[in-house]
Amino acid sequence: MLLLQQIINGLMMGGIYVLVAVSFTLTIGVLNFLNFSIPGIFMLSAIMAWRALENGWHWGLAIPFGLLVAICASFVVERFTYRFMKNVDHEIPLVSSIGFLILFENLVLVAWGSDQQKFPSLIPDLNIRAGGLIIGIGQMLSLALALLLVIGISLLLKRTQLGRGIRALAENAETATLLGIEVHRIVPVLFVVTGLLTGISGILFAMNYQQVSAAMGDVVGLKGIAAMVIGGMGNIWGAIIGGLLIGLTEVLSIYFFGADKVDFYVYGLFLVLIILRPQGILGSSAATGVKL
């Protein structure tokens, strides 16, 4: 029974990794750009929501404020990293996005220090008890919201004109431009979407674990990248599988081997899967662009 409880906890944690992995997947699948600023945006959304709550804001205003900061930060990255440097080598925008990650983290360090801060409890401490299992309402809502958001992104890509434009851009930017697709309008929207997803994941993490810090996005960002690669680069449903698998591995390694060995088993799994299937679980060696 205790093992089943840990599996449930792993799925709940995996929902956070899913959103981060999908954010990475959208930028690399469409733009061939690994956006290393995502962990910083993850952190900014939670930190700014925390500051708003500390200043007496109602949570109904504080959370949208945190999300707005995340969207604006992502838009700034698009303007000064991808758009400004899109005609240079791929490595240069990547390094620039790392620069934004460092900038975001150091701005928070200067303003509020490096100590972990307590995030207020916004969801009542309610649990569902079934057959000896305990399922936290907050964690269950986080997982459900993560999956609903990913399903919404998938439907947007499949059934809307914007989605068709994004998929055409993912296949070939020059061809998309020749077909009359306004690439200069689609790319900012894509960054806004990834900023929103990342911001939601940051706030969900803070609400569930009731803590925030300047470095809170680093570990989650690394595991989000690992989840993306495990699932298959550019594959949204692969990102879901990868995120949930990382979450399960994390809690099960703690259950069986202790918390001090968790990273060994998480990244060990990552290494083994990459050796056995370099293209990822749902990836293919010939795949290009974002896949549904």
Angle among Cα 281, 284, 286 to the nearest 5 degrees reads 165
Q: Beta-carbon neighbour count of residue 253 at 10 Å?
A: 21
Judge whether residue 288 has pLDDT over 60.
Answer: no
Query: Over the stretch 51-91, which tens digit does the pLDDT of each residue have?
Result: 999 999 999 999 999 999 999 999 999 988 877 766 666 67
Please report whether residue 121 resides in a domain.
Answer: no
Q: Is residue 292 part of a domain?
A: no
Q: What is the residue range of 267's domain?
A: 2-114+143-276
Find the mean pLDDT for residues 253-269. Answer: 86
- In DSSP terms, which residues pair with 142 in a beta bridge? none
In a domain, 155, yes or no: yes
Number of domains in the chain: 1
Handedness of CA 32, 220, 194, 98 (dihedral sign): negative
Phi/psi for 209 (5° steps) reads -105, -5
Dihedral Cα 163, 289, 222, 277, nearest 10 deg: 130
Tokens of 29: 């699948």
Phi, then psi, of 58 in degrees rounded to 5 = -70, 145
Helices (H), 119-182: 137-159, 161-171, 173-178
The pLDDT value given to residue 258: 83
Query: Do the domain assignments include residue 130?
Result: no
Nearest-Å Rg of the Cα atoms of the chain is 19
**DSSP-derived 3-state class of residue 249:** helix
DSSP letter string, 166-211 = HHHHHH-HHHHHHTT--HHHHHHHHHHHHHHHHHHHHHHHHHHH-E
Phi and psi for 149 in degrees, rounded to 5? -65, -40
Tell whether 66 is covered by a domain: yes
Q: How far apart are CA 284 and CA 260, in angstroms?
A: 35
> Do residues 69 and 45 make contact, with C-beta atoms less than 8 angstroms apart?
yes
Q: Is the pTM of this model over 0.85?
A: yes
Contact of 31 with 97, CB cutoff 8 Å: no
Give pLDDT, residue 82: 78
Question: How far is it, in rounded angstroms, from Cα 11 to Cα 8?
Answer: 5
pLDDT reported for residue 287: 55
Nearest CA among 189, 281, 285 for reference residue 237: 281
Q: What is the CATH number of the domain that holds 213?
A: 1.10.3470
Percent of the chain clearing pLDDT 90 (strictly above):
42
Instruction: Tell me the three state secondary structure of residue 131.
Output: coil
In this predicted structure, the answer to whether residue 292 has a pLDDT above a threshold of 60 is no
pLDDT at 125: 61
pLDDT tens-digit series, residues 142-163: 788 888 988 888 888 888 888 8
In a domain? residue 11: yes
**The pLDDT of residue 285:** 59
Residue 132 resides in a domain: no
- For residue 159, tell me if it sits in a domain: yes
Query: Which pLDDT score, from 0 to 100, does residue 132 have?
Result: 64
The tens digit of pLDDT for each residue in 74-83 reads: 999 998 887 7
Identify the band that residue 169 occupies on the pLDDT scale cut at 50, 70 and 90.
confident
